[in-house]
Chains A and B, each alone.
Chain A
Amino acid sequence: MNNEELYDKIEAYLKGRLSEEERAAVEREIQTNPEAALEFQLQQVEMEAMEAMLERDLRGKIHQWLEEDEPLPPPEKDTPTPSNTSRPGRLWIAALLGAVVVLAAVAWRMDWLGYKSESVPTEKTPSEKENSNQPTPGPIAGIDEPTEPEKSTTLPNPEIRPAPQSPPADGGMMAYAGKLYEDLDLDNTRKGAPMEEDEGPLSEAVIAYKKEQYHQALQLLNAVSEGNGYAIRALEMKAHTLYHLKKYKESAAAFAAVAATELPPFAERAQWNQLVCYTAQYPATKAAFDELLAVLIADTGHTYHERALELQKRLSE
């Protein structure tokens, strides 16, 4: 079971949507696989947190319900007991709410997106949605980003880069991935280290990285603790180091973790390099590759949107 399947299965398990047989399989996985055990616990905690949110909201309303004397109309009596697949009788509420939220969202996005277009991204069909893996972590367009994400001046401009050459017909994608790969901006990484920590593991790792001593760099980067001020840069560098060591699977996971921070300029570049890692392992990683490529293509504001489109075109050729 890969990570995405594991995530989906545990989610379904916690939501009570699995058959007895499937539940038993998930329980076996949790007992034998430490990664599954951790995922299970994390999802449990997340769901509990979300329930706590609903609970707090509900408790705030209880007295109001009991104290208000105004008569209430009964709920729609003709509404049949709903299933999870249909919700008759409330489309108008959704439509009204949707209109209000869309207007607010458009006004808000206009404010921070500026010139960016609002084109509707490619939509999956319901069956595709059902079969799809979880989206890859990355910045959330339109979610909790009150200001325009800062774009690093050191970021390469994907639009002025030469288009990638077509992939080799024999399926050997590693070399092709190398053409797509965005290497680490070492000068920027160096600047990110606080002065008092210049002699710390990150600085030493930068030196090792520059000398292409990737095993040593990796050791040094593993010594960087999560709590310090340049942990994200260290994580990004670790992802690149793993890439140079041709540990593409681990590299993709590290890039995914960088992308999950949603910090510009790291996140979008990390997503692209994650895609590059999948390209290097193609076709074994086809599902993950397709999923991530679709995310980049759907996100018209993504720094690597154009390059993703170009890549898709090349692959189709």
Chain B
Amino acid sequence: MNRDDASIIAGIRGTAEERDAALAFFFRQHRSLRAQVIAYVAKSGGTEHDGEDVFQDAVVLFDRRIRKGAFKEESSLSTYFFSIAKFHWIGQHRRRKIMEELPDRRDEKGDVGPELDYIFEERKQIFYSALEQIGKKCKEVLGFYMLDYKMEEIAQITGRGSAAMAQKDAYKCRMKLRAYLLQRPQLLSALGVQLPDNPDLLTE
């Protein structure tokens, strides 16, 4: 792995600013990646529009996998990115084909890609609506939490007195998010959460 890649990985796993800077650097350094992904998708049964979507999804997956330590550093980052995009498209394309070939779908016009997209989009909309309820500060704290900031760092950035206070904030912000969802069991059902038979479990 070259030094640029090592620095990019460090940046993506770093602060919010470092992550942005590292991703921006990576995609500007590899401007052709987007065109390569779009060309690959177009060649493999998709459209240019599909290719654009796949590229953007791949950016999200790339960032997430690096943050979670899934990148094993066995290739360059650009190769890794392209393989994420490629397999993402293969999976998406396969699902579409399967859905198209289901007997009860044969009479329907068009493919079911948009339908699946709608389900995922609906899921995201539920999350966005829940996140809107917890407020800007909480979103900021939870963003740091997801980026694996240490509590000391969150405390420093958010102006809280100590790591313990920041930890308390992060927990309460999560509980705010949870409370919003628990008060709306229909949303939890829509998200696939199996609600318990004993309703007391929802309050204890």
The bracket for how many chain A residues form the interface is: 35 or more
Contact between chains at B6 and A81 (CB < 8 Å): yes
Using CB atoms and an 8 Å cutoff, list the residues of chain B in contact with chain A: 3-4, 6-11, 13-15, 17-18, 20-25, 27-28, 31, 34, 56, 59-60, 63-64, 68-69, 123-124, 127-128, 130-131, 134-139, 141-143, 145-148, 150-151, 153, 156-165, 167-169, 171-179, 181-183, 188, 191, 193-198, 201-204
12 contacts between A and B (CB under 8 A): A41-B193, A42-B178, A46-B174, A48-B123, A48-B127, A53-B142, A59-B60, A90-B17, A93-B15, A97-B17, A143-B137, A144-B138
From residue 138 to 158 of chain A, which have CB atoms closer than 8 A to chain B?
A: 138, 140, 142-144
- Bound CA–CA A134/B172 (angstroms): 10
Taking a contact as CB atoms under 8 Å apart, the answer to whether A74 and B171 are in contact is no
Q: Are A143 and B141 in contact (CB under 8 A)?
A: yes
For residues 33 through 51 of chain A, which have their beta carbon under 8 Å from a beta carbon of chain B? 34-35, 37-38, 41-42, 45-51
Complex interface: stretch among A123-131, A166-174, A179-187, A192-200 = A123-131
Contacts of B179 in A (CB 8 A): 260-261
Interface residues of B, dominant DSSP: helix
In the complex, A1 has a CB within 8 A of chain B: no
Determine the residue in chain B with the shortest Cβ distance to A95. Answer: B156
- A62 adjacent to B163 (CB under 8 Å): no
**CB distance B14 to A90 under 8 Å?**
yes
Chain A nearest CB, measured from B202 CB (Å) = 8
Report chain A residues within 8 Å CB of B171: 134-135, 137
Rounded to whole angstroms, the CA-CA distance of A49 and B201 in the bound complex is: 22
Top 4 closest pairs, chain A to chain B, by CB: A144-B135, A123-B162, A105-B159, A75-B7
Residues from chain A with a CB closer than 8 A to the CB of B147 are: 54
A interface, CB within 8 angstroms of B? 3, 16, 34-35, 37-38, 41-42, 45-59, 61-62, 64-66, 68, 72-77, 79-82, 84, 87, 90, 93-95, 97-98, 101-102, 104-106, 120-124, 126, 128-129, 132, 134-135, 137-138, 140, 142-144, 226, 235, 250, 253-254, 257, 260-262, 294-295, 298
A57 to B31, CA, bound (A): 21
User: A106 to B15, alpha carbons, bound, how many Å?
Assistant: 23
Q: Which residues of A contact B15 (CB under 8 A)?
A: 87, 90, 93-94
In the complex, the answer to whether B14 meets A82 with C-beta atoms within 8 Å is yes
Nearest Cβ in chain A — how far from B168, in angstroms? 4
Taking a contact as CB atoms under 8 Å apart, the answer to whether A50 and B159 are in contact is: no
Q: Are A135 and B28 in contact (CB under 8 A)?
A: no
Which of B31, B56, B63, B148 touches A84 (beta carbons < 8 Å)?
B148
Given contacts A41-B193, A75-B11, A94-B15, contact A123 B163 (CB under 8 A): yes
